[in-house]
């Protein structure tokens, strides 16, 4: 179980459940999702759209973590949380895909193809909607 190892190694913490912070993160995630959808689909915006979509997905995952009593200290550990704690193997794989895509943009200056952006605009909201079953209240 990689998530348990992440806690043992300090990449995630067990915390007191924080529903207020979770709700706040969900609002920020919704705003990021809306911002990504409102950006004009043109080459100069491709990277920004993908970054906003990833941020929305990450923040939503962090909100679920806060509701369940976890704080993530790396983005990679969210992949393990999705897989090991939420039993969301497909979402875990897709999250990791978008994490790596975003890292390529941010840290290596990689370009993003229009097809990738179009797929992300469809898929990320679907992933978020699928995670809503894990929200308490």
Cα gap 31→129, rounded to integer Å? 15
Q: Which CATH superfamily does the domain covering 2-134 fall into? A: Nucleotidyltransferases  domain 2 (1.20.120.330)
Q: Please state, in angstroms and as integers, the Cα–Cα distance from residue 102 to each residue in 35, 63, 81, 86, 123, following that order.
A: 16, 20, 19, 23, 15
> Domain limits of the chain?
2-134
Q: Which residues contact 80 (CB under 8 A, 6 or more apart)?
A: 2, 3, 5, 6, 12, 92
Q: What are phi and psi of 9, to 5 degrees?
A: -90, 0
pLDDT tens-digit map of 70-126: 999 999 999 999 999 999 999 999 999 999 999 999 999 999 999 999 999 999 999
Give the pairing of strands 12-14 and 70-72: antiparallel
pLDDT tens-digit map of 6-33: 999 999 999 999 999 999 999 999 999 9
CA-only gyration radius of the chain, Å: 15
pTM of the model: 0.96
């Amino acid at each position: 179980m990689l998530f348990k190892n992440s806690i043992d190694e300090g990449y995630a913490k067990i915390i007191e459940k924080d529903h207020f912070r979770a709700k706040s993160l969900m609002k920020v995630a919704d705003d990021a999702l809306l911002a990504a959808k409102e950006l004009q689909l043109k080459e100069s915006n491709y990277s920004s759209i993908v970054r906003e979509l990833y941020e929305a997905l990450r923040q939503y995952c962090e909100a679920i973590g806060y509701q369940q009593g976890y704080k993530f200290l790396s983005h990679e550990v969210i992949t393990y949380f999705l897989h090991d704690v939420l039993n969301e193997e497909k979402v875990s794989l897709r999250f990791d895909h978008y994490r790596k895509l975003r890292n390529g943009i941010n840290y290596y200056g990689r370009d993003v193809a229009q097809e990738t952006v179009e797929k992300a605009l469809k898929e990320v909201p679907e992933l978020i909607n699928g995670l809503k079953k894990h929200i308490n209240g």
